[in-house]
Structure 1
């Protein structure tokens, strides 16, 4: 059946196909910009912030202080999920996504102008913390809307995993752009990188925001939300409702992300500190390796999203979790050779197991929640992992290495995260190829394909 828009004639199959393409492009480009902003901060934290904003601290202590500011962005993400999840289920996916893009973009642009410790003392770090919090709020509301904008335009149930994986593509694309711009700036500014060069990538971000805003203004609302609006099924307090109705799914979604998110930030943020200060590797080698790793994910994320449509979302996710848990030991074994070739190979391969989870993850989590609560539920589940996985990961990695003086201690931490993810994923429902257009608490909403989640 062709998609419809509230108060409008049904769209033809050709028009619905065009809207699907626009929604996927808008979501992917939008998330690319959002994650460029977020990863730019991550990359510069390991390379610059400890030196400029905590110069009086011991190098290790300064690194921990810089990563504490970095972690603030993760603490803010569930706040953004609660705020924008509410509005995404109340006023729509499109309008909410425009606000998140502006919030994130303007906060990132402002980082370029924060004075250092030498200029205003501790106030520089305080301003960075506030801006990082605003960034986190923006990202917290971004993911759920981007995934739903693509997934809810999918024309058939059988390729929803592939369609929903494209907003996930924005992560490696944003990572690639952030590292590329930092690498280029590093080359151009040379010895002045710590003085002014690091600020250029943050200034450039405002151009990307303008592009993303233009694209998002030219897409329609998703047919599932339009249907909810037409049938007057909008919840007054969707965030509170999903916490009351599906608390188990929210918590399981968060724990399922442990093996995906914690290692990812070790491999893309902590690696700069570990590589430069412990291994003596060059900054450019590390940046280049992360660039190549993110390029590989351009292919692997949609591939594993598609594969989840074939073998099932949950099965694909668990296989990925196991691979992540085992690869951590290989990763640090290769890094600790201190051989530039093996270091490069370790970093390049590090995001392949990640993609095995991240490709199917969007659909796996979003499908767990009924339509009228989906933005709130998926966002909360996804972003709560920021508190238990992404935010603490570089801090935990730094502390483990400081105590044990071995990368294998960090690998063991990754393995524990993987075990948690396997258990949580096995307890989540698998709605691969099932109809998600009807509310799960309606009679026969899922049909013969399986049971509905516990929405009462």
Structure 2
């Protein structure tokens, strides 16, 4: 539904009397929505590492199958900026709420179809082609989801707590990882390996349809954010919000993308590629690695909220830069443990790797969202956030597989992680810290 000027005035009046209730609902809806989206996304990540090479690329060697599977994984990341542009336009034109309902439906339906998709042995080459198409749909949905979920909470609550409020969308990642990876872990532990590989892995994908129904009920009860309703009431919406964001805030978009490198790229190595490396190189069970990732996600869940709240007190950049530096410092020790350590050390390393990620991912929502004016925030923040997916998150497992195969040493991957930390440190240093700026006034951002 398009939000007109009269409707916007009505929304603003209702928001004044219901603000406390709406703030709670917005925070909850933000967390629940991203949890469902990332649950679906991480299910695919886990299946791409453990199931898809044999199911959809059975004629390939182990190395080629992993490369092909991670290539379909990367496709979803390449589609994210497209989703950010499409839904950024509508999010800054008709509102955050309506746009988020559409992204949730897209993600849930695509995941449900993955759960019933036959393998290559049944329908031949059509199987991987359909898989890639579904991954594209998932990527477009995720691309439009993030900024809307962040803004839903940020634009409703106390502006002195933007870091904490924005992080409610971020906790959807570890919660989704816990649910998605937890479901796979439980099934892989309870079912015989043959049953898990043939049909057990499909159950969590089908369960996503139930989660989507819950998410829709919650999101439909939320009013439009006061900041965007005020923009509509004052007739200040942009006719071409994405184009205007690129034209007037290209610097912020590029820096937002760059600051994500040391957060996103290592994260997908540590939660997806590690499943292949530890199982293949050391012979540990899938359940062992999944349990380590699961505990790490649970630890990160608590730390995201804490570091986000800390960023409200001491500034986003200070917390974020600390996390980026730690990511670079831990890169070589991490892979040294994976290569030479025993079971206990490897388990601890996987869990500890989540800490510097939490230091960055928690404050990140506010750090990026604060960099754009209200009428361009959905598209601008979304483009900045999702562009990193093309260069950092998406290619990471693919490049890591290639680096290990080419060099024969995991330390080449460590160097790759250090490079990502350097990019992030430079970009964060160049981005203005608006932790305490008034983001309700577009004049703050006008040139």
Partners of 2:63 and 2:290 lie apart in 1 by: 21
Shift of the alpha carbon at 1:91? 0.3
Structure 1 residues 299-338: Cα deviation after superposition (integer angstroms, max 9, x where no partner): 1001111111111111211111101111111211221124
* CA deviation string 1:188-216 (max 9, x = no partner): 33221111111111111100000001100
Aligned-residue CA RMSD in angstroms? 1.3
Q: Is 2:176 the counterpart of 1:174?
A: yes
Shift of 1:36: 0.2
Partner of residue 94, structure 2: 91
User: Aligned equivalents of 2:11 and 2:371: distance in 1?
Assistant: 29
Q: SS where residue 88 of structure 2 aligns? A: helix
Question: What does the per-residue CA deviation read over 1:382-420, in whole Å, with 9 as the maximum and x for residues that have no partner?
Answer: 000000000000011111111122221111100000000
1:10 aligns with 2:13: yes
Where does residue 210 of structure 1 map in the other structure?
A: 213
- 2:30 and 2:12 map into 1 onto residues whose CA distance is 25
Q: Does the aligned pair in 2 maintain the 1:293–1:348 contact within 8 Å?
A: yes
> Residue 115 of structure 1: SS of its match in structure 2?
coil
Structure 1 residues 180 and 380: CA distance shift in structure 2, 3 A: same
Which of 407, 413, 427 lines up with 1:424 in the alignment?
427
Q: C-alpha deviations, 1:249-308, integer Å up to 9, x for none? A: 111110110000000000000011101111211110100000000000111001111111
Distance in 1, matches of 2:56 and 2:11, equals 55
Residue in 1 that maps onto 2:74: 71
Q: CA deviation at 1:340?
A: 1.0
Structure 1: any 5+ residue segments left out of the alignment? Answer: 446-451
1:229 matched residue in structure 2: 232
Bigger helix share: 2
Contact persistence 2:11–2:229 (CA under 8 A): no
Distance 1:45 1:12 in 2: 44
Aligned to 1:448: none
Change (3 A) 1:12 1:55: closer
TM-score w.r.t. the length of structure 1 is 0.95
Give the drift of 1:185.
1.7
Alignment of 1:9-88 (within 5 A): 10=13, 15-88=18-91
The change in CA–CA distance for 1:228 and 1:280 in structure 2 (over 3 A counts) is same
Question: What is the Cα deviation at residue 436 of structure 1?
Answer: 0.3
Partner of 2:175: helix, strand, or coil? helix
The answer to whether the 8 A contact 1:165-1:359 is kept is yes
CA distance in 2, matches of 1:78, 1:353: 25
Aligned partner of 2:242 among 239, 242, 255: 239
Deviation at 1:433, TM superposition (A): 1.6
Question: What's 1:400 paired with?
Answer: 403
In structure 1, C-alpha distance between the alignment counterparts of 2:243 and 2:191, rounded to whole Å: 49
Give the match's secondary structure for 2:221.
coil
Superposed CA offset, 1:414-447 (max 9, x none): 00000000001111111012110011xx3xx4xx
Question: Which residue among 338, 343, 354 is the counterpart of 1:340?
Answer: 343
Q: 1:147 deviation in Å?
A: 0.2
Is this contact kept in 1: 2:45–2:272, CA < 8 A? yes
Q: Does 1:130 align with 2:102?
A: no
Which whole-Å deviations, capped at 9, do the CAs of 1:330-369 have from their partners, x for residues lacking one?
2112211241111110111111000010010000001000
> Mean Cα displacement is larger for which, 181-190 or 286-295?
181-190
- 2:161 paired residue among 155, 159, 162: 159
The equivalent residue for 2:365 is 362
- Looking at structure 2, the residues matched to 48 and 213 of structure 1 have their Cα atoms a distance apart, in angstroms, of 30
Number of residue pairs matched? 440
CA-to-aligned-CA distance 1:198-239 (integer Å, 9 cap, x gap): 111111110000000110000111000000010000101100
Contact 1:77 1:141 in 2 (8 A): yes
Gaps of 5+ in 2: 1-6
Q: Could you tell me how far apart the structure 2 residues matched to 1:78 and 1:298 are?
A: 26
Q: Distance in 1 between matches of 2:16 and 2:350?
A: 44
Deviation of 1:174 (Å): 0.2
Structure 1 position 6, deviation (Å): 2.5
| Alpha-carbon offset, residue 172 of structure 1 | 0.3
Inter-partner Cα distance in structure 2 for 1:85 and 1:305: 25
